[in-house]
């Protein structure tokens, strides 16, 4: 793992949302969802962002993968700012970063077979058909889904299986960076453990760098090398997981550690 | 006070809950844990006479000596809300968004206690105060969306307390809340049961929250009660392999110790209603399964000190006092699909 040529660097990034006007002619109040956030994910590193709902962690993740534009600051993936390059390059760059969402129901097309959903990202990569299919089936097998089930539809799978399929879809283009936003929050405890183990296996197998977002400090503690604690749009502290857990610098982190202890 | 005996909820031939028994004494806090599809929410709904219409409920639900199970809706209506009340999971959808907090809370008070306007308002204020809402008078004219998630959950608790029930059923009351807020809501429920001598049935999938909230725990799997006992003893030395697996699979800060660790897992998934083995519901996922487990249902054995567990291993000589062990990490295949 190296931090001098990081896969992701976020520098002083901010994002504000306009709130509904309170009075007819007054200015619309703004919500600072993310304020002056900076962080770095080294190659092959797993960084966790922990925070409660409304802390800005998902907004930050969405800016990293280019789903949302920051108001200020710079984001660099592999040295390039996805928000400052052209559409064609952005499309090309997107292959290098993928995202897994909390709700695997919402992230798979219910009218497409899971095989189609896992193959689709490879279309943009311009691979020949036979290679697309074999790559997709291989990836399904690696996440623990029987490739023979590729012609089935999302509703035929359990929540945990759907999350595996969503992970296969994200990883099929072999991204360098995987952003996982609450990847296990909607899963049962025993299935959560399966998915967390799977993420760790894929991290080891592909040398994948990961940015994992969760409200659950125990989840972050189990799979991350370093952790950033966010609250009210700001990153309060960042450090090696063990250091942050055993000697939290911030009172809020202490409260979190005791709530999850 | 609340005694549930051999309660079954069936949809056609399929059991959602199979012969569940539990009792709650005044002031006692009982947790019901299990993963989704284990029957805990159907059980909770049945305790209020709110099981789905398609369901057939058999067995006994006795509240203060009165038999409620199988009774007409009219009889339930005399008890629901008054003797036995429920706190729901989703505070946003459980509160009418078009009514002010004061109106929402006054309705059951006027209904159950036949108080006048002024007396009802005083009662609403004291309830809001009791559940720890700051500046209760200012809340009366606010709408649910103007409150935070934690405050909405407190309003829901106040609503359930309106008719001074003797049993409070809380179905996943902390699931929608952040961790810090969840801890505060749990502490509030504990305090309320102690102060009012009210029985609490606390339903949750979260073992950590159940450990904090309850004195006794009932572990459900596949519609069956597989283990029950004092909460701390049960979570520290579980006897049923499912309980052990569930505890081991939980990510923990202490165990991780700041290093990445593989978590022990339970292979497979919870079998859906109607596709369960006639024997032990955990057979097929169990790491220590015996040949007879799939076909022969294990009895809920008395393990002493208020603990019971349903596992064929426990009837084998010498295994009775030994806690179930969690399978070693990575010992089992995780492939599903």
What is B260-313 written as a DSSP string?
Answer: --PPP---S-PPPTT---SS-TTTTT-TT--TTTTTSPPP-EEEETTEEE--HH
Pick B257's closest partner by Cβ from A140, A194, A242: A242
Asked if the Cβ–Cβ distance from A259 to B263 is below 8 Å, we say no
Q: CA of A191, closest CA in chain B: separation in Å? A: 7
Lowest mean pLDDT among A29-33, B100-104, B175-179, B275-279: B175-179
Residue in chain A nearest B257 by alpha carbon: A242
CATH number of the CATH domain containing B23:
3.40.50.300
Does residue B269 lie in a domain region?
Answer: no
Residue among B183, B260, B269 whose CB faces A191 most closely: B269
Quote the number of domains for chain B.
1
Residue B337 to residue A149, Cβ atoms within 8 A:
yes
B327, pLDDT greater than 50: no
b/e map A76-93, b = 16+ CB within 10 Å: bbbeeebbeeeeeeeeeb
Kindly report the CA angle at A37 between A32 and A38, in degrees rounded to 5?
A: 170
Backbone angles phi, psi at A258, to 5 degrees: -75, -30
Residue B294 falls within a domain, yes or no?
A: no
Q: Do A157 and B337 touch (CB under 8 A)?
A: yes
Each residue's pLDDT tens digit, B76-95: 888 888 899 999 877 677 89
Q: pLDDT tens digits, residue range B44-72?
A: 999 999 888 888 999 999 998 889 888 88
Question: In tens digits, what is the pLDDT along chain A, a chain of 261 residues?
Answer: 555 689 999 999 999 988 877 777 888 888 889 999 999 999 999 999 999 888 999 999 999 988 889 999 999 998 888 788 787 887 777 778 899 988 777 789 999 999 999 999 998 778 899 999 999 999 999 898 999 999 999 988 888 889 999 999 999 999 999 999 999 887 888 888 888 999 999 999 989 999 999 999 999 999 999 999 999 999 999 999 999 998 999 999 998 888 776
pLDDT tens per residue across span B171-206: 988 887 877 788 889 999 999 999 999 999 999 988
Higher local confidence (pLDDT), A124 or B40: B40
**B258 within some domain:** no
Per-residue confidence band for B165, with pLDDT thresholds at 50, 70 and 90: very high
- Confidence grade of residue B318 (pLDDT, cut at 50, 70, 90): low
Ordered domains of chain A (ranges, CATH) = 1-96+179-261 (3.40.50.300), 104-174 (no CATH)
Report the residue from B180, B263, B270 with minimal CB separation from A259. Answer: B180
pLDDT of residue B337 exceeding 50, the answer is no
- Domain membership of residue B56 (yes or no) is yes
8 Å CB contact of A191 and B250: no
CA distance A202 to A163: 14
At B333, is the pLDDT very low, low, confident or very high (cuts 50, 70, 90)?
very low
Give A117 to chain B, closest Cα distance, Å. Answer: 16
Q: Which residues in chain B touch residue A193, judged by CB atoms under 8 angstroms apart?
A: 249-251, 263-266
Averaged over B101-123, what is the pLDDT?
89
Instruction: Provide the b/e sequence for B161-178 (b: ≥16 CB within 10 Å).
Output: bbbebbbbbbbbbbebbb
- Return the closest-CA partner of residue B4 out of B195, B167, B246, B247: B167
Partner-chain contact B178 A245, CB within 8 Å: no
Chain B residue with the nearest C-alpha to that of A227: B258
Per-residue model confidence (pLDDT) at position B262:
83
Whether A72 and A38 have beta carbons less than 8 Å apart is answered as no
- Looking from the CA of A87 toward its CB, the CA atoms found within 13 Å total 0
B65 in any annotated domain: yes
Give the domain range for residue B18.
2-214
- pLDDT, tens digit, for every residue of B236-265? 999 999 999 999 988 888 776 666 778 888
Give chain A positions within 8 Å (CB) of B183. 259
**B326 assigned to some structural domain:** no
Note whether A218 contacts B178, CB cutoff 8 Å: no
Q: For residue A240, what is the nearest residue in chain B, using CA coordinates?
A: B258
Cβ contact, residue pair B260, A225, below 8 Å: yes
Among all residues of chain B, which has the CA nearest to that of A257?
A: B253
CA–CA separation, B240 vs B276, rounded Å?
18
d(C-alpha B58, C-alpha B78), whole Å: 20
């Amino acid at each position: 793992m190296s931090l001098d040529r990081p896969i992701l660097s976020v520098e002083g990034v901010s994002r504000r949302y306009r709130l509904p006007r309170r009075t007819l002619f007054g200015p619309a109040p703004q919500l600072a969802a993310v304020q002056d956030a900076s962080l770095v994910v080294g190659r092959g590193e797993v960084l966790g962002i922990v925070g409660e709902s409304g802390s800005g962690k998902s907004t930050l993740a969405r800016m990293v993968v280019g789903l949302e534009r920051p108001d200020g600051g710079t984001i660099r993936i592999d040295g390039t700012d996805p928000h400052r390059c052209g559409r064609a390059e952005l499309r090309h760059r997107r292959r290098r970063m993928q995202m897994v969402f909390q709700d695997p129901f919402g992230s798979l097309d219910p009218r497409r077979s899971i095989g189609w959903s896992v193959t689709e990202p490879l279309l943009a990569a311009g691979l020949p058909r036979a290679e697309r299919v074999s790559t997709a089936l291989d990836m399904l097998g690696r996440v623990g889904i029987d490739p023979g089930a590729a012609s089935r539809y999302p509703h035929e799978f359990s929540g945990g299986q759907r999350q595996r399929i969503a992970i296969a879809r994200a990883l099929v283009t072999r991204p360098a960076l995987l952003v996982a936003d609450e990847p296990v929050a909607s899963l049962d405890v025993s299935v959560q453990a399966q998915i967390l183990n799977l993420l760790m296996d894929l991290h080891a197998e592909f040398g994948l760098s990961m940015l994992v977002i969760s409200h659950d400090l125990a989840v972050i503690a189990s799979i991350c090398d370093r952790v950033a604690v966010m609250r009210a749009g700001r990153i309060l502290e960042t450090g090696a997981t063990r250091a942050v857990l055993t000697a939290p610098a911030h009172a809020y982190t202490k409260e979190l550690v005791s709530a999850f202890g | 006070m609340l005694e549930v005996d051999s309660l079954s909820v069936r949809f056609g031939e399929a059991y959602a809950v199979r012969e569940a028994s539990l009792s709650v004494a005044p002031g006692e806090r009982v947790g019901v844990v299990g993963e989704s599809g284990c029957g805990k929410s159907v059980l909770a709904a049945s305790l209020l006479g709110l099981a789905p219409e398609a369901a057939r409920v058999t067995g006994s639900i006795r509240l203060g000596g009165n038999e409620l199970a199988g009774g007409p809706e009219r009889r339930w209506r005399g008890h629901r809300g008054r003797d036995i009340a429920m706190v729901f999971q989703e505070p946003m959808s459980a509160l009418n968004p078009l009514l002010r907090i004061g109106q929402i809370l006054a309705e059951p008070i006027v209904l159950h206690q036949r108080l006048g306007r002024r007396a009802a308002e005083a009662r609403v204020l004291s309830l809001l105060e009791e559940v720890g809402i700051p500046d209760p008078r200012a809340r009366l004219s606010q709408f649910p969306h103007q409150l935070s998630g934690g405050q909405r959950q407190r309003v829901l608790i106040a609503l359930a307390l309106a008719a001074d029930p003797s049993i409070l059923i809380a179905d996943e009351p902390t699931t929608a809340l952040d961790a810090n807020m969840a801890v505060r809501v749990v502490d509030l429920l504990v305090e309320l049961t102690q102060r009012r001598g009210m029985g609490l049935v606390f339903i949750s999938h979260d073992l950590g929250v159940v450990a904090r909230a309850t004195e006794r725990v009932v572990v459900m799997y596949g519609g069956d009660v597989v283990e029950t006992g004092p909460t701390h003893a049960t979570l520290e030395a579980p006897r049923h392999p499912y309980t052990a697996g569930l505890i081991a699979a939980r990510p923990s800060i202490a165990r991780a110790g700041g290093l990445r660790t593989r978590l022990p897992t339970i292979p497979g998934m919870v079998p859906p209603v109607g596709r369960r083995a006639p024997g032990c519901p955990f057979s097929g996922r169990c790491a220590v399964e015996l040949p007879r487990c799939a076909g022969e249902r294990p009895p809920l054995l008395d393990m002493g000190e208020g603990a019971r567990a349903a596992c064929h291993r426990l009837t084998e000589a010498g295994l009775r006092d030994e806690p179930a062990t969690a399978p070693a990490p990575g010992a089992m295949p995780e492939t599903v699909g």
